[in-house]
Amino acid sequence: MNIRNLFFVALCLAVSFSSRAQDSLHAATSLPPKASLQQCIDFALSNQSAVKQATIDEAIGERDIASALSGWFPQIGATGTYNNNIIIPTAVIGDQVIQMGQKNVSALVLQADQQILNPGLLQASKAAKYVRKQNAQNTENVKINTIVEVSKAYYDILTSEEQLTIIQENIARINKQLSDARARYETGLVDKTDYKRAQITLANSQADLKRTTEVLKYKYAYMKEVIGLAPEEPLTLTFDNASMENEIVLDTAAAFDYRQRIEYQQLQTQRQLQGINTQYNKWTYLPSLSAFYNYAWDYRNNSFGKMFDVDYPRSVFGLTLNVPIFQGMKRVQEIKKSQLMEERIDWDLVNLRNQLNSQYAMAMATYKANLNDWVTARENVALSKEVYNTIKLQYDEGIKTYLDLMTAETDLRTTQVNYLNALYAVLSGKLDVQRALGTIPVK
């Protein structure tokens, strides 16, 4: 195969790999049309930057562990030296002064060192499991926060979409009322007051529609941010109101166990690592023992050109024992310091346990209050619809005034909006309770 054909094959492979990479990237940054909440969560757990960074931190942690434990493997190195003895050293043997050595001296040394007993490596070996656990807990914590953020953003968009529908229905009713008021005014049944009031109400509702539409654009942009979707990518969501109402149910009798909280587990892991650090400071009283072996080639000659004609090999095997006897009480102070840090973390655990209990109590109380508000709001919606329909019939028959109809219309819209706000609050409150209980599923 000639150079031209090789280049052509390489170019084809490069184009193929590039196309596959782009397809893979596109697949990672796309959501199915009308994505559900679970699909948004799954996408976020695979693409959200904070989750990606936490995963990378785990990989970095694995490299740190491997680097720390590499000291148990043989350390092999080679050195080379060259000396030019401008004045050759001498030695006195008997009554004669004799030159020791030659003008040009060189050596190549290959040496292997093996740690046998080393307190620092013992600490790294024992801490590896807990460092790995700590990194995994950090990733889990990031995923929990991501799930909560995505769920709340989804529910917020759901609320705004429903509010948009309510406003549009409201505008349709007001348009009908405006048309009826104009007809009544033109026929001389009423003055222009009703007609003007309808115009004002319609203008206010259209302003609400515009404001809600613009805010909804921001909420979709924020949803893209929290799930890790590129701003230029399309995002449409699917909603099931009945399903959302079913989601509000929560077992309020579930027992609270602060040990299920990832924050408490993270602090426990930190406490275990601090205990290993205390043990390490005690291990520093132990001697360190290592073995070494080297093989060297020596070269020497008065003539530089002939220096490497003959080599003089040598080899050494030995053990090195280092016994730390006194270091100015440094080790004692480090042990005391580490023990105090252990005690401090113990108090952090006590404090965190109390905080988590307060968080759970607040989350549960808020959820129960929001649930009661939602039940009340749902009943008020049904009542306000009944009142509006009754007053609308009475207005059409001339029994009620237009002001009564406007009041009923306002009450209906208010109760509908209150219901949506209560629904969002209870769904959001449920997430807070689940997070307080430590039951947010991350797998």
pLDDT exceeds cutoff 90 at 220? yes
Nearest residue to 402 (alpha-carbon basis) of 213, 185, 241: 185
Claim to verify: residue 109 and residue 149 sit in the same structural domain: no
Contacts 24+ apart (CB under 8 A), 181-186: 181/402
DSSP string, 318-370: EEEEE-----TTHHHHHHHHHHHHHHHHHHHHHHHHHHHHHHHHHHHHHHHHH
Place of tokens 């190549």: 108
Claim to verify: residue 213 and residue 197 sit in the same structural domain: yes
Residue range 185-191: average pLDDT?
71
- The span from the CA of 83 to the CA of 323, in Å, is 35
What residues pair up with 105 in beta bridges, in sequence order?
A: 83, 300
Max mean pLDDT among 92-96, 220-224, 233-237, 305-309 falls in: 220-224
- The span from the CA of 147 to the CA of 145, in Å, is 6
The answer to whether the beta carbons of residues 417 and 379 sit under 8 Å apart is no
| pLDDT at 173 (0 to 100) | 87
| pLDDT at 200 (0 to 100) | 87
| pLDDT at 186 (0 to 100) | 74
Claim to verify: residue 135 and residue 151 sit in the same structural domain: yes
pLDDT exceeds cutoff 90 at 245? no
Claim to verify: residue 266 and residue 385 sit in the same structural domain: yes
Nearest residue to 44 (alpha-carbon basis) of 156, 153, 135, 161: 153
| pLDDT at 287 (0 to 100) | 93
| pLDDT at 31 (0 to 100) | 84
Residue range 280-305: average pLDDT?
93
Is the residue at 273 inside a domain? Answer: yes
Claim to verify: residue 222 and residue 341 sit in the same structural domain: yes
Q: Which of 12-26, 251-265, 352-366 is predicted least confidently?
A: 12-26
pTM: 0.82
What percent of the chain clears pLDDT 70, i.e. is strictly above it?
A: 91
pLDDT exceeds cutoff 80 at 223? yes
Residue-wise pLDDT for 378-415, tens only, equals: 999 999 999 999 998 998 888 888 888 888 988 999 99
Claim to verify: residue 357 and residue 371 sit in the same structural domain: yes
Claim to verify: residue 99 and residue 228 sit in the same structural domain: no
What percent of the chain clears pLDDT 90, i.e. is strictly above it?
A: 64
Claim to verify: residue 396 and residue 269 sit in the same structural domain: yes
| pLDDT at 1 (0 to 100) | 42
Claim to verify: residue 202 and residue 256 sit in the same structural domain: yes
pLDDT exceeds cutoff 80 at 22? no
Q: Which of 242-256, 335-349, 418-432 is predicted least confidently?
A: 242-256
Is the residue at 4 inside a domain? Answer: no
Nearest residue to 155 (alpha-carbon basis) of 427, 437, 373: 427
Q: Which two tokens stand for residue 402?
A: 């237009």
The answer to whether the beta carbons of residues 238 and 34 sit under 8 Å apart is yes
Is the residue at 9 inside a domain? Answer: no
Nearest residue to 382 (alpha-carbon basis) of 427, 419, 355: 419
Claim to verify: residue 80 and residue 172 sit in the same structural domain: no
pLDDT exceeds cutoff 90 at 373? yes
How far from 25 is each of 19, 54, 209, 222, 440, CA to CA, in Å?
10, 20, 37, 21, 29
- The span from the CA of 8 to the CA of 32, in Å, is 38
pLDDT exceeds cutoff 90 at 89? no
C-alpha dihedral (339, 345, 351, 355), degrees to nearest 10: -170
What residues pair up with 420 in beta bridges, in sequence order?
A: none
Confidence of residue 243 (pLDDT cuts 50, 70, 90): low
Q: Which residues contact 153 (CB under 8 A, 6 or more apart)?
A: 219, 222, 223, 226
The whole-chain average pLDDT of the chain stands at 88
How far from 319 is each of 289, 290, 389, CA to CA, in Å?
7, 6, 98
pLDDT exceeds cutoff 90 at 13? no
Task: Give the structural domain span for 226.
Answer: 30-73+118-287+328-437
Map 208-220 to HEC letters: HHHHHHHHHHHHH
Claim to verify: residue 165 and residue 218 sit in the same structural domain: yes
Residue 364's CATH number? 1.20.1600.10
Say how many domains are in the chain.
Answer: 2
Claim to verify: residue 100 and residue 133 sit in the same structural domain: no
Residue-wise pLDDT for 60-87, tens only, equals: 999 999 999 999 999 999 999 999 988 8
Does 195 or 152 have the greater pLDDT score? 152
